[in-house]
Amino acid sequence: MPDVLTNEQTLVTLDWASEHLNDEDVRFVEIDVDTQSYDSGHLPGAIGWNWKTQLQDQLRRTIASKEDFEQLLQEAGIDEDTTVVVYGDNNNWFAAWAYWLLKYYGHEKAKILDGGRKKWVAEDRELTTEVPEYETTDYTIDNVESQYRAFRNDVKENLESDDFGLVDVRSPEEFNGEIIAPKGVKELSLRAGHIPGASNIPWSTAVNEDGTFKSKEELKEIYEQEGITPDKDIVAYCRIGERSAHTWFVLNELLEYPNVKNYDGSWTEWGNLIDAPIER
């Protein structure tokens, strides 16, 4: 199929999606903050993943295991040669998290639908409530790209390093310690504030009003003016790791920074650690 992609082969346009909805080697996957959105209408042929029950472990505080994620791909009819195009609501918030998981578990043929559900609906493009069924594959995850994930010690051990860049992608109110978390969420920490030395660059600054990503030049300016430059080892964090996965996508995939990690433990871990340093 023709490769009509944008931004270094990591994004597909809505027109590209419309042309390839029925391709056997392309699978569209919707992941929404509102887990009911998929049932109200989705792209024809798209399957839905629930971030609460399918993309994270149901017992431990961690991402879906290699085995569980492998099974998820198998049941979606995805094999090693399938191009997986993820999209969702809220400017591809959780879609970016699913993309990060795909890359973490070694699936290179992953893309994000630029503009996501918001732009698709705004342009009154075709939606369906029909849930497709695909033949189960024997997908095997052969390797884990551990360089894409940070843990608390990766952050703690580098706080004083000049070669380290820490991006807090939460709202200014969360960063400043005015609130612990956005209203209505369940995952909380005991303390408010931010990790010392972090730059506050909210994840949403990377997107336009229509949900598409800003240009490479605009993105470069946004991050570099806050000291987040490609010569540093960069770690992004938020509250539970989903908003920071969006920023990881921007830095690692769109701007092609050489060393970017997503700290999915994020503030719900750091804000609960005994004696961890905090700034407000």
Active site residues: 238
Give me 104's structure tokens: 């973490």
Q: How far apart are CA 46 and CA 202, in angstroms?
A: 29
Give the pairing type, strands 164-168 and 5-6.
unpaired
Q: How far apart are CA 266 and CA 181, in angstroms?
A: 12
Q: How far apart are CA 121 and CA 105, in angstroms?
A: 30
Burial 220-244 (b: 16+ CB within 10 A, else e): bebbeeeebebebbbbbbbbbbbbb
Q: How far apart are CA 29 and CA 84, in angstroms?
A: 7
Residue 260 pairs with which residues in a beta bridge?
234
Give me 234's structure tokens: 């960069």
Q: Are 228 and 199 in contact (CB under 8 A)?
A: yes
Query: Cα–Cα–Cα angle for 29, 239, 101, nearest 5°?
Result: 30
Alpha helical stretches, state H, 12-125? 14-19, 37-40, 66-75, 89-104, 116-122
Give me 46's structure tokens: 């798209």
> If you search the block for the tokens 């969006």, which residue do you land on?
246
